[in-house]
Structure 1
Amino acid sequence: MSTNLIPADVAMLHVLESWRVKDLFGYPAGSLNSLMNALNYEHQRINFIQVRHEQVGALAASAQAKLTHHIGVAFGSAGPGAVNMLNGLYDAKEDHVPVLAIVGQANSDNLNYDYFQEFPEAPIFSNVACYDRIVMNAQSLPHVVDRAIREAYQHQSVAVVIIPNDLGFVKIPDRKYSSAPHTIVKPSYPKIFPQIINQFLKMVKQAKHPVFHVGKQIGDSGKLLVKLSQQLQIPIMIDGTAKGLIPGEVTDLGTGNRITSKVANELMDTTDLVISLGSEFALSHRYYDKHPFKFIQVDRRQNCLGYHHPLDLGIWADPTEFIKAVLKTSVHTIHQLYYSSVIKDIQNENQYRHHLAIKKTNPILPTQVYHQINRIANDKTIFSVDIGDNTVNSFRYLKMGTNNQLVFSAHFATMGCSIPGAIAAKLSYPHRQVFSIAGDGAFSMVMQDLVTERKYHLPIINGVTSNNSTSYIKSQQADLSMKYFGVKLTGQDFAMIAKGMGVKAITITQFSQLAHTFDLAKRVTQNGQPILLNIVISDQRALPMKKLHIHKQNGKFIEVCDNQSDLHQFFAKYNGKSLKSLPELLAQVAKQRH
């Protein structure tokens, strides 16, 4: 055993380093001084990223885990700092990514005396954490942290370690405390037997309007799925976490509700067989209960089979391996009419979006903003998108390839996630272009951390779409037929605020400013500095897909609006005179074939 002694918190950082942790997000505090001392010891091997709010630190750690698939680490002080982290920790829990939270505590000899900022912190984290421990002595500190990391990876969730400040200063033997493996063994899943494939294909053949509903478990197998989709003539619908993973003609269900595309909404109204491939759809209770259909689910998580809808066939398997197994089986195209009609429907909706994007009108429309983002982005750009109308707009208008990445708060849906996500993205992938996209409400919650971008020279394009309104909630209130209340925001000069933090910033109020200002933003970030674009946009609502419904009448599909207005008048109200309904396209394709 080594006779060399080191502070226990330094030994803990050695454990983190062995697990390939590079960044710790947090804010210093008196109850964390032993950790700050250790970070100073190890500053050449691990980075302390000083954020201006613990919520930002926890959200950045969560985003880093989503982007890299490695554990993210954040820390907060005893009491208020611990509580501030909860938002980001719940985001990690709900999106199933591994995050370690290190929480300060009063010195051990002051515990249970109602000492300053001394709280029973373990109960605070009991719901969010899969592993929640307070360190009892210095010798066990690195072991507890090592175990916490293992638990976070095992459960793809949050682990919390609470450390009384004095224990981190105590010197312990300098030896190996980590159990980090040199290689990660890929988990194995049950073998996919031929009879399972045959049962799947039998159900597909019996269906008239099947659809794939795909989530993030598809990983980098998007091209294989497209091949299977074309082979079986089954359209692909993705949830928000799979955006960018599948090339070609796919439609976005997003996270449902107002966020869905027109085509996805139509598919959910007409399908008689949903094939879920690694999808975890938060609004399944609403969308899956629209009408009866058969349900096949392929998922890595055995305990999630049948969780969102009663099963007709549940397959515990890796979706990629399942796709490969089906492709090996000789199958023929089956659903040509439905598939061809849906592809035309997707193309028609894409043409509508393009029409909105190139309009030269004032006030500025969100589609015009996303057109500029798409224009200056590249095939490796990372987009960190906040919650609200930008969630809707990014799912509908953001063009992504299989090498792009999108990070957002998918299930917890916490506002204020875009700047933390962009910080994590740029630290993890310094040579890739990064956007932070937020509305004025969400941006206001974390805008102080623009200075973090400047401090660490993180060249991020920060786009703020400003319309002095919580537009997403305003749309909800409109659907409830209530008077608008509480949705008006007092305007702020975000460009002036950013300049006060030393960040270059420009306000855009006219369509004519968009192109050259986005070009400037690209040049500024290429020169190594962040920039903020305060883009004043219209608060005009995008086409509300949830008002559209399809039902059968005399054996044929009919699409209507829930207010009984003429369908094409409804489309025209949202500049969609060229839009066609899926029933129209089904009839058109059928006529062409006869």
Structure 2
Amino acid sequence: MTQLTSDFFVERLKSWGVSRIYGYPGDGINGVLGALQRVEGTQAGIEFIQVRHEEMAAFMATAHAKFTGELGVCLATGGPGATHLLTGLYDAKSDHVPVLAIAGQAEATVRGASYQQELNLDRIFADVADFVQEAATPAQLRHLVDRGLRIATAKNGVTVLVLPKDIQDMPWEDPQQAHGFTRSGPVYAKPRVLPHAVDLERAAAVLNAGRKVAILIGAGARNASDEVIEVAERLGAGVAKALLGKDVLPDDLPFVTGAIGLLGTKPSSDMMERCDTLLMIGTGFPWAEFLPADGQARAVQIDIAPEMLGLRYPVEVNLHGDAGETLRALLPLLQRQEDRGWQDHIAAGMETWRERLKGRALASASPVNPQRVVYEMSPRLPTNAIVTSDSGSCANWYARDWQVKQGQRGSLSGGLASMGAAVPYAIAAKFAHPNNPVIALVGDGAMQMNNMAELITIQKYWQQWADPRLIVCVFNNEDLNEVTWEQRVMEGNPRFPTTQSLPDVPYARFAELLGLVGIFVDDPEQIGSAWDRALSADRPVVLEVKTDPDVAPLPPHLTLDQAKSFLSSMAKGDRGAARVVADTARQILGGLRERF
């Protein structure tokens, strides 16, 4: 049988180590689907996971890359199927993970004819992709695959390959050894990236001179956790975590201050305000207002991506290199800080902060305090659990109330902060690690936007997983809560029900209709037992909790302007103003007293 171009394409993906594709079918990509079918169940096969929407496929590919360190792959037909991929691909671009998107296209013979579903996809994907090309002939496809996957892997970025329908079904022809052809290979190994010795010495001099050293880590420090701990111990430093670096170090280390920024902790904020030296490792943390003031701290930054160096703070020494390699080379140059006063102060601050978190989580609410949902979850999770979160107010509780243990993993849409990523992230985590329990923390807005449909994907595949536990925890407060609080605190406007109110949907009952377990809780005293039941279930669970929308996802410190804006929104007649003022203004005014 003559090998088709689509057969070669699938074979080439396999030679690059691709083992799973998340996607949705369509006639524009039928040639590739046929090739996948011809090798299904063989050693040369690639697993195809059928999602409910192409955007979810791209989110899953991004999550696959995050939770495995491998290339994530998604697939769609042309036209609207391809454009649906964009949001998930921007998530990969923003968080610097390697993803390949495969998109169908109208036949090459009708390109430029305003044909059905014919779009100029190379232009559409030009901003999101480090490499995007549309194949014009079978002989071109070999080097497009090899170059595209090499670029995505090397740059931790996005490659998009567009395959016209007729090209997929043409007989495969190897490129000739002749002028006008090029012959490529599917080989790539990442290099050892290490700064020069003189730059390491300059960085060590800055760090050794510090007496109040703060370390900020992101996802780029994930494979250097032991080295980060050793550096912190040697310098007597505290370590704050950007949101994507939440799972890099466990939270029970006394010098770890937890998350930083709007979703962060007070000890992280305090440490940045008082440090005299800053070491940033593998982070693109965006909110520079939470970093030290200009001139306050000398700074060193380590990052594998040179474009991220010196981007958030005026850094004295930039070290372009892999975090682990660079820290291992730097450690012999670092002197032990004998005075442990700074680190002891940080540890004491964390003890106080944990008590405050407990008080906030156990505070009364109507009906359930959303902080308590994650507070009760955290100690119950096994050490191999994976947690995902959506964007919105639930990300605050993910950032603050989930206390990461050694061995646990977690992630969310970081730089893009897109709604709708938690459930597809959880599904991809489950396929990547079928023996691990996975928990998705989701607001009701994201569930209604697109995550409810992916419960059908869970129902379709869950019996394949060695450990069937996948828990989707829905915070049902009938409110687009993060934006509501931004309206109050940032704009000084009362809640706008027209834009903020959501329908009350029976999420747990919907799960039961699918043959999953549904658990509904509206009593705070039942939260713990609900988590116990969910974690012992023999199949995936939707845990729906009726939470209070008037529990504020406050930043660690409010500015005076933000406090004024909040009180202004109350004066303008915000819903439940008396209760909001009683429960929230106390925290705001208390935070202002501590800050000013």
Distance 1:572 1:484 in 2: 16
Contact 1:31 1:104 in 2 (8 A): yes
CA offset digits 1:57-102 (Å, max 9, x no partner): 0100011011111111111121111111100000001111111111
1:233 aligns with 2:230: no
Q: RMSD across aligned C-alpha pairs, in angstroms?
A: 3.1
Contact 2:257 2:350 in 1 (8 A): no
Q: What residue is the counterpart of 2:528 in the other structure?
A: 515
Q: What residue is the counterpart of 1:82 in the other structure?
A: 82
SS in structure 2 at match of 1:43: coil
Q: What residue is the counterpart of 1:25 in the other structure?
A: 22
User: Given the alignment, which residue of 297, 306, 311 partners 1:307?
Assistant: 311
Which moved further from structure 2: 120-129 or 476-485? 476-485
Contact 2:492 2:564 in 1 (8 A): no
How far the C-alpha of 1:505 sits from its partner, in A, is 1.4
1:216 partner amino acid: A
Q: What residue is the counterpart of 1:139 in the other structure?
A: 139
Gaps of 5+ in 2: 176-182, 567-581
Q: What residue is the counterpart of 2:186 in the other structure?
A: 180
Which moved further from structure 2: 224-233 or 430-439? 224-233
Q: What residue is the counterpart of 1:497 in the other structure?
A: 510
How far the C-alpha of 1:501 sits from its partner, in A, is 3.2
Q: What residue is the counterpart of 1:320 in the other structure?
A: 324
CA offset digits 1:116-168 (Å, max 9, x no partner): 11122211101001111111012333432232111111221111111111221
For residues 428-443 of structure 1, the aligned pairs below 5 Å read 428-443=432-447
How far the C-alpha of 1:365 sits from its partner, in A, is 1.6
How far the C-alpha of 1:310 sits from its partner, in A, is 2.0
1:236 partner amino acid: V
TM-score between the two structures when normalised by the length of structure 2:
0.86
Distance 2:255 2:164 in 1: 52
Distance 1:161 1:561 in 2: 46
Contact 1:441 1:489 in 2 (8 A): yes
For residues 335-374 of structure 1, the aligned pairs below 5 Å read 336-357=340-361, 363-374=367-378
CA offset digits 1:31-55 (Å, max 9, x no partner): 1211221121122221111111000
1:483 aligns with 2:494: yes
Distance 2:356 2:136 in 1: 62
Distance 2:216 2:383 in 1: 25
User: Given the alignment, which residue of 206, 211, 227 partners 1:224?
Assistant: 227
User: Given the alignment, which residue of 3, 7, 11 partners 1:6?
Assistant: 3
1:211 aligns with 2:214: yes
User: Given the alignment, which residue of 34, 37, 42 partners 2:34?
Assistant: 37
Contact 1:251 1:263 in 2 (8 A): no
Distance change >3 Å, CA 359–CA 288, structure 1 → 2: closer
Distance 1:315 1:272 in 2: 19
CA offset digits 1:268-298 (Å, max 9, x no partner): 2222322112221122266455774322212
2:456 partner amino acid: V
Distance 1:474 1:291 in 2: 36
Q: What residue is the counterpart of 1:557 in the other structure?
A: none
Distance 1:244 1:429 in 2: 16
TM-score between the two structures when normalised by the length of structure 1:
0.87
How far the C-alpha of 1:191 sits from its partner, in A, is 3.8
Distance 1:129 1:202 in 2: 39
Which moved further from structure 2: 362-371 or 448-457? 362-371
CA offset digits 1:465-501 (Å, max 9, x no partner): 1111111111211112112222222221112332333
1:33 partner amino acid: N
2:515 partner amino acid: G
Contact 2:208 2:335 in 1 (8 A): no
1:103 aligns with 2:114: no
Q: What residue is the counterpart of 1:590 in the other structure?
A: none
Q: What residue is the counterpart of 1:545 in the other structure?
A: 555
How far the C-alpha of 1:360 sits from its partner, in A, is 7.7
Distance 1:113 1:236 in 2: 58
1:451 partner amino acid: I
Contact 2:200 2:330 in 1 (8 A): no
Q: What residue is the counterpart of 1:391 in the other structure?
A: 395
Q: 4+ residue runs of structure 1 moved beyond 6 angstroms? A: 569-572, 575-580
Contact 1:251 1:261 in 2 (8 A): no
Contact 1:352 1:576 in 2 (8 A): no
How far the C-alpha of 1:305 sits from its partner, in A, is 2.3
Contact 1:240 1:252 in 2 (8 A): no
How far the C-alpha of 1:356 sits from its partner, in A, is 4.0
Distance change >3 Å, CA 178–CA 11, structure 1 → 2: farther
Contact 1:239 1:252 in 2 (8 A): no
Q: What residue is the counterpart of 2:195 in the other structure?
A: 190
CA offset digits 1:445-484 (Å, max 9, x no partner): 2210110011012531111111111111112111121122
Q: What residue is the counterpart of 1:426 in the other structure?
A: 430
How far the C-alpha of 1:503 sits from its partner, in A, is 2.6
Which moved further from structure 2: 183-192 or 104-113? 183-192
SS in structure 2 at match of 1:545: coil
How far the C-alpha of 1:326 sits from its partner, in A, is 4.2
Contact 1:439 1:465 in 2 (8 A): yes
Distance 1:92 1:512 in 2: 39
Contact 2:260 2:269 in 1 (8 A): no
Distance 1:412 1:340 in 2: 36
SS in structure 2 at match of 1:444: helix
Contact 2:377 2:528 in 1 (8 A): no
Distance change >3 Å, CA 564–CA 293, structure 1 → 2: farther
Distance change >3 Å, CA 263–CA 373, structure 1 → 2: same
Contact 1:75 1:101 in 2 (8 A): yes
2:114 partner amino acid: D
Distance 2:12 2:392 in 1: 39
Contact 2:23 2:49 in 1 (8 A): yes
SS in structure 1 at match of 2:426: helix
SS in structure 2 at match of 1:25: strand
User: Given the alignment, which residue of 450, 457, 473 partners 2:483?
Assistant: 473
Q: What residue is the counterpart of 1:249 in the other structure?
A: 254
Distance 2:440 2:403 in 1: 15
How far the C-alpha of 1:581 sits from its partner, in A, is 5.4
1:448 aligns with 2:453: yes
1:55 aligns with 2:55: yes
SS in structure 1 at match of 2:536: helix
Q: What residue is the counterpart of 2:474 in the other structure?
A: 464
Q: What residue is the counterpart of 1:283 in the other structure?
A: 287
Which moved further from structure 2: 493-502 or 374-383? 493-502
Contact 1:215 1:242 in 2 (8 A): yes
The percent of aligned pairs where both chains have the same amino acid is: 25
CA offset digits 1:495-524 (Å, max 9, x no partner): 233233333212111123323322222222
1:277 partner amino acid: I
CA offset digits 1:179-236 (Å, max 9, x no partner): 333x83543323434x743x44443454453311112222233233223223221211
Distance 1:388 1:511 in 2: 21
Contact 2:22 2:50 in 1 (8 A): yes
Which moved further from structure 2: 326-335 or 52-61? 326-335
Distance 1:421 1:246 in 2: 21
Contact 1:352 1:578 in 2 (8 A): no
Distance change >3 Å, CA 273–CA 521, structure 1 → 2: same
